[in-house]
Structures are given as structure tokens and as C-alpha cells.
Structure 1
Amino acid sequence: MTPEERLEALGLTLPEVPKPVAAYVPAVRTGDLVYTSGQVPLVDGKPARTGKLGAELTTEEGAEMARICGLNVLAALKSEVGDLGRIRRIVKVVVFVASDPAFSEQPKVGNGASELFAEVFGEAGKHARSAVGVSALPLDVPVEVEVIAEVA
């Protein structure tokens, strides 16, 4: 199955690439690597949720927001390479989690994106990852995800 076929089998549709909210582009290719800008959980151009993990959102809700970020990452990758089948491997994922100071389940939140990449790309979707708690993110969103991917 191609990545697009896997998305369809999961009942998922890639969104339009979210428009940047500042002076950057969604993705940049250099050689055989594509770097995405941090993607936030925008749906139809608006934050799906706002707030901090451990205060306004549960770990499970954060993981769902990370999954939405992951879909936006895939849209950014596709806009740069034209076809997700050209992605050879998801190399590195960085997940930023807007967290209450006592919250420490950032890795579980990051699983929302990581599991999506594994579902879409199989073994090639398994990656190195950092999940970092931060005090705030743009637009007061709870999660932001960026990726480095290798392309054929």
C-alpha cells in the first residue's frame, strides 16, 4: 500500500497545507532531507484546541492534537515532494508540548504523531524523537510537531 492508500484506509484525508503565521515556509528540502516547520493542530485554519496539558487538556486530548499536527506535517511534506511515496524514512520528530509545570507526560502526547507516522509509513515511519515541555506555543495551541524526513 502507498502512504496515501494507508491514509485512506485509516479514514484520514490530508488537509490543505496550513498557511504560515509568520515569516517562514511549511517545508524546505536540502539534498535528500526535508525539514518541516513546526505544525500546530489547525483544522480549517483554526486551532482545534487551545490551552496547556495538565491544566485544560488531558494526556489523551494532547495525543489527539499531536495526531492533527502529524496530519499537517504530512501535508507539508507532500507539498514539498509531491507524493508521500517518495518519503524513504521519517528520521526525527520533535514534539513541543505546552505544559502545566507539574505535567510530565510529554512523551505520551508525542505518541499521537509518532503512531500516525508508523501507521502511514510502516517501518519507515519509526523515528528518533524528542518531546519537550514548554510554557507556551503560538496561538495558545497545546502541541507543535516538526519532522526531518529522508526522500528518495
Structure 2
Amino acid sequence: MTHPPVPQGNYVAAKRHGDLVHTSGMTPRDNGVLMFKGAVSPGVPLESYQAAVELAAKNALASARLLMAPHEKVAGVLSLTVYIAAEPEFTAHASLADFASTYLQREIGDDGIGCRATIGVANLPGNAPVEIQLVAIIAHF
């Protein structure tokens, strides 16, 4: 990703209050272009969706980092919400969301794992397969 995520409507990518940053929902976009489309299917291996989930998580984390001062870092994830546009027969929502949790843990450390909700929906903006929203904890160093 060479550019930070840009809102696709009348909202901000992230909002800070004290040491918490709430991000808007982020889809798997790169430079504003949706890189993955379509509903998640139960007949497709979960690993086929890993790049989409990780890109959405990367965008959410990047949005949080935009609101940090130079002497700050993302110290943890308080909560993570993963929306999955899934076909009705798909039931592995939590396993798919694990790709986001694992990505954030790799980027932040063990505190990258927070509370999580995974929600199956009929569709997402632009026909994205996944959308991720998080609340990050900012720390001074």
C-alpha cells in the first residue's frame, strides 16, 4: 500500500479520543482500488481469502497509525470487528477472521489480539468480501 486508505463516502477513516483510535470499516483496497470482490463461498479454501482479509486489516491499522504522533505507537487492539459477505452456506466466519487477528498479532505483538466480533452479512460496499473495523490503543514511548 503506497497511499493511506481514503474514505469512500462522507466519513473519516479514523477518529481518535485520548489514547484510543476507532477506525471506520476498511475493505481490501489498495490505492483506492478494491482488489478483491465477491461473496465468500463455502466451497473455496479459506486460504484463498487470506490476502483480502489481511489487506483490509492492514488498511484499518494504517488508518489508526495516521493519527499518531512521532513518539507514539499502536500498543494493542482493544476490539476488532470482521464483517464477511458470505454465501448462506458458509459457516467458518471465525476461522476466516483469524487471518485478521494473526496479521495484527504479527504487526503489533501479542497485544494485537483483542476482543472480536465476526459477522456474516449479505453484501458489503463495492461487493467486497470483507470489511474490518478496529479500536486501537495508542501508547507513548
TM-score, normalisation: structure 1: 0.84
Tell me the CA shift for residue 64 of structure 1: 2.1
Q: For 1:104, which of 72, 91, 94 is the aligned residue?
A: 91
- Return the letter of the residue paired with 2:91: S
Which is strand-richer, 1 or 2? 2
1:119 alignment partner, SS class: helix
Tell me the CA shift for residue 83 of structure 1: 5.1
Corresponding position: 1:47 with 2:24: no
Matches within 5 A, 1:81-120: 81-82=68-69, 86-120=73-107
Q: How many residues align?
A: 139
Task: Tell me the distance in 2 between the aligned counterparts of 1:22 and 1:56.
Answer: 33
Gaps in structure 2 of 5+ consecutive residues: none
Preserved CA contact (<8 Å) 1:39 1:144: yes
Task: Tell me the distance in 2 between the aligned counterparts of 1:38 and 1:62.
Answer: 18
- Return the letter of the residue paired with 1:134: V
Task: Tell me the distance in 2 between the aligned counterparts of 1:60 and 1:84.
Answer: 36
Which consecutive aligned stretches of 4+ in structure 1 deviate over 3 angstroms post-superposition?
A: 55-58, 82-85
TM-score, normalisation: structure 2: 0.90
Aligned identity (percent) is: 27
The residue that corresponds to 1:36 in the other structure is 23
Q: CA RMSD in A?
A: 1.9
Tell me the CA shift for residue 42 of structure 1: 0.5
1:133 alignment partner, SS class: strand
The residue that corresponds to 1:147 in the other structure is 134
Gaps in structure 1 of 5+ consecutive residues: 1-13
- Return the letter of the residue paired with 1:74: L
1:90 alignment partner, SS class: strand
Q: 1:56 to 1:38 in 2, by over 3 A?
A: farther
Corresponding position: 1:23 with 2:15: no
